[in-house]
Amino acid sequence: EGHREKTLALLWAIIFHFKVRLQLNEWELKEETALLLRHPPHPVASLYHNPRRSSLEPNIFFEPTLGLLLDWCRAVCAIYGVPVSNFNSSFSDGRALCYLVHHYHPSLLPLG
């Protein structure tokens, strides 16, 4: 029926329930996030206005492990100037996901 937010919420709930908790190494995620926060901004970041850290909006999925995952998403996307505040609206246009893929596999999704 065109309920984008409800569809995204359901998709994330399924992903988190079945995959994230099984495969997330909290220590590695903290280390990677710390490394990313020291990374200089990519030139494409000048296209977007973005403070290095967005505020955390209330989220029905919040738990400590998912908070770490959100921090990691924020750190990667901040390099490209894309604000990430939650797993719903921040991912709705696809930019955040594209930058996550590009950051780790630039040949799969080149910029430009």
Tokens of residue 36, six digits: 């990313």
| pLDDT average, residue stretch 40-69 | 62
Is residue 30's pLDDT more than 80? yes
Question: What does the pLDDT look like over 69-85, one tens digit per residue?
Answer: 889 999 999 999 999 98
pLDDT at 52: 43
**pTM exceeding 0.85:** no
Per-residue pLDDT at 81: 92
What's the CA gap between 49 and 35, in Å, rounded?
Answer: 22
- Asked whether residue 100 carries a pLDDT value surpassing 60, the answer given is yes
Q: Measuring CA to CA, how many Å separate 43 from each of 13, 48, 81?
A: 34, 10, 9
Cα–Cα dist 10/109, whole Å: 26
